[in-house]
């Protein structure tokens, strides 16, 4: 059965949002549940995709591509955006399937696509996204971290931290509140622009840097 986070914040004793995780893609539909602000499809990448990504990682020094991907032309648009990379058929086919799922789930004609090769944390501080919903998946390297619903003092986000590290600001109680996605996981993160979720968006960050590590991160967004 899908795992579920605790529903009560023991600090405020108020109803909070929960995460929903399972090893089938159907779990992503849980994002429409009002109580869910994070849905994770826990998946293992096949050997062909891993080999494709490894070849790219070993030869590339930089990648940061943003584009509009059309629902009716997903693979064509994706191939056009990645034509100057060594990412091959296995990766493109899998990424196309993920984009198709996102478009279908939210009935979108096109999406905002971004893929980045990272060798340092992109967003090292805990934060929320001011979007309706963002898809995040890591094809290589550590996955995104998020805070479980308990013991989050959202007043400590951003300027409220007063320059202190996340662990020092009082944002969360202990490292036990930090949860980790793994390589291959496909996650939907409900942001503050989702109606009814203005005060309960997922609090998340890039994972801590590991010496020599590269991450290949793909994100999808609604278009304004």
pLDDT tens for each residue of 88-112: 999 999 999 999 999 999 999 999 9
pLDDT at residue 187, as a whole number: 98
Better pLDDT: 211 or 135: 135
Could you give the percent of the chain with pLDDT greater than 90? 72
Question: Is there a contact between 138 and 144 (Cβ–Cβ < 8 Å)?
Answer: yes
Q: Which fold has domain 3-221?
A: Jelly Rolls (2.60.120)
Please, which pLDDT band fits residue 10 given cuts at 50, 70 and 90? very low
The residue extents of the domains of the chain are 3-221
Give tens-digit pLDDT for 16-45. Answer: 789 999 999 999 999 999 999 999 999 999
**Alpha carbon distances (Å) from 60 to 68, 110, 116, 170, 214:** 23, 28, 11, 39, 10
Handedness of CA 79, 83, 87, 90 (dihedral sign): positive
Q: Is 35 helix (H, G, I), strand (E, B) or coil?
A: coil
């Amino acid at each position: 059965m899908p795992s579920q986070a605790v529903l009560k914040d023991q600090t405020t004793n108020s109803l909070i949002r929960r995460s929903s995780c399972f090893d089938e893609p159907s779990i992503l539909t849980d994002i429409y549940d009002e109580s869910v602000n994070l849905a994770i499809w826990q998946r293992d990448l096949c050997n062909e995709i891993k080999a494709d990504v490894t070849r790219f990682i070993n030869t590339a020094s930089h990648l940061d591509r943003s584009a509009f991907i059309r629902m009716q032309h997903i693979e064509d648009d994706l191939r056009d955006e990645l034509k100057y990379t060594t990412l091959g058929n296995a990766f493109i086919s899998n990424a196309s399937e993920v984009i198709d799922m996102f478009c279908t789930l939210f009935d979108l004609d096109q999406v905002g696509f971004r893929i980045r090769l990272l060798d340092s944390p992109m967003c090292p501080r805990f934060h929320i996204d001011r979007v309706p919903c963002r898809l995040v998946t890591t094809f290589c390297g550590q996955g995104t971290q998020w805070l479980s619903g308990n013991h989050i003092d959202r007043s400590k986000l951003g300027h409220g931290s007063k320059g202190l590290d996340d662990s020092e600001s009082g944002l969360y109680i202990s490292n036990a509140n930090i949860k980790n996605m793994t390589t291959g996981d496909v996650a939907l993160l409900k942001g503050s622009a989702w109606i009814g979720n203005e005060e309960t968006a997922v609090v998340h960050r890039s994972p801590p840097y590991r010496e020599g590590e590269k991450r290949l991160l793909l994100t999808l967004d609604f278009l304004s």
